[in-house]
Structure 1
Amino acid sequence: MAKPHSLTREWRGTMIAAGGMVIVSSLAFRILSHVDEGLAGGTLGTVSTIALAAWLLMQLWTYVVRIGQPKHQVVLMGISFIQSVPFLYAAVYASFGYTDSCVQGADRASELLYFSYVTFTTVGYGDLQPVGMCRGLAVAEAVTGYILLGLFVSAAVAVASHNRHSKE
């Protein structure tokens, strides 16, 4: 059994990364969901979309290559699944503005966040609908949800399998 001090050291980087993901995604959502309608639109939306794609690729690389221990992967992917990714997609939707230029029927930040969670989890109620470039973004969000869920389940099974084998 690991000493408490070494356990703290082992998890320090993971907890810092988890906190960073929550802070960055919350700030991005807060800032972009309150952008003036005059600033929101195609250019800001495109830049936000590119930044989101770069962030997602970096996260995928981190989960698959950099983090060697499945228990750390489970924690970070869980936070991504529950909070970070839906908040970041909602921020990008908001960067396009609220005048039905991205998500028809959404006229405030909470509705975009709701739409993001419904899309990310592939529930798809249909009460809010993406339009224009945001249709492709919504498809990307659903695919991201599938991929992240698959990676999360894979890491969780690896942790459970490791724990089971270490008890035998």
Structure 2
Amino acid sequence: MVKPISLTREWRGTLIAAGGMVIVSSLAFAILSRVGEGIAGGTLGVISTVLLAGWLLMQLWTYVVRIGQPKHQVVLMGISFIQSVPFLYAAVYSSFGYSDSCVLGADRSSEFLYFSYVTFTTVGYGDLQPVGMCRGLAVAEAVTGYILLGLFVSAAVAVASYERHSKT
């Protein structure tokens, strides 16, 4: 039987990382979605895009290299899939501004978030359309969704397989 103290110690780093991902992505979205039209635009958008790319590479490295246990990978990837990555992409879309310079038809932060989830999950309703540099960003978000979903499924299968074999 596993003691609750060791369970907490085992999961401490994963829970801190998960909390950090939620806080960083929520703050990025909250801050960048409130940037005025005078500040938003190409330069801020490019800087935000570069920071997003760095964040995603760091996250991928963390999943593949640093997190050795599939259970922990599943938790972190689940949080990334559900909240962190779509919020970060929505923050970057917002950093380009609301004057149809990034996503046609998006004039509120909630619409950028909606567009991000629709793109990330590759649903693609077509009611909002990326333009300019954001077209490439939307493609990158869809590819990120594919990769993250693949990693999430493989980690979940590894956990299920381990659980099944350890019971026999």
TM-score normalised by the chain length of structure 1 = 1.00
Provide the secondary structure at the position in 2 that maps to 1:56. helix
1:10-66 deviation line (CA, Å, top 9, x unaligned): 001100100000000000000000001000000000000000000000000000010
CA distance in 2 between counterparts of 1:24 and 1:112 reads 17
Partner of 1:24: 24
1:16-165 equivalences under 5 Å are 16-165=16-165
CA distance in 2 between counterparts of 1:145 and 1:56 reads 11
CA distance in 1 between counterparts of 2:115 and 2:123 reads 10
CA distance in 1 between counterparts of 2:62 and 2:144 reads 15
CA distance in 2 between counterparts of 1:2 and 1:149 reads 31
Structure 1: any 5+ residue segments left out of the alignment? Answer: none
1:68-90 deviation line (CA, Å, top 9, x unaligned): 00000000000000000000000
CA distance in 1 between counterparts of 2:92 and 2:5 reads 40
Name the aligned partner's letter for residue 40 of structure 2: A
- How many residue pairs were aligned? 168
Once the two structures are TM-superposed, the CA of residue 3 in structure 1 deviates from its matched residue by 1.0
1:75-110 deviation line (CA, Å, top 9, x unaligned): 000000000000000000000000000000000000
Once the two structures are TM-superposed, the CA of residue 7 in structure 1 deviates from its matched residue by 0.4
Provide the secondary structure at the position in 1 that maps to 2:37. coil
CA distance in 2 between counterparts of 1:167 and 1:140 reads 41
Structure 2: any 5+ residue segments left out of the alignment? Answer: none
After TM superposition, what 4+ stretches of structure 1 lie above 2 angstroms from structure 2? none
TM-score normalised by the chain length of structure 2 = 1.00
Structural RMSD (CA): 0.4
Provide the secondary structure at the position in 1 that maps to 2:39. coil
CA distance in 1 between counterparts of 2:128 and 2:154 reads 32
CA distance in 1 between counterparts of 2:25 and 2:101 reads 22
CA distance in 1 between counterparts of 2:57 and 2:12 reads 23
Name the aligned partner's letter for residue 24 of structure 1: V
Once the two structures are TM-superposed, the CA of residue 2 in structure 1 deviates from its matched residue by 1.7
CA distance in 1 between counterparts of 2:108 and 2:5 reads 46
Once the two structures are TM-superposed, the CA of residue 159 in structure 1 deviates from its matched residue by 0.2
CA distance in 1 between counterparts of 2:18 and 2:62 reads 12
Name the aligned partner's letter for residue 73 of structure 2: Q
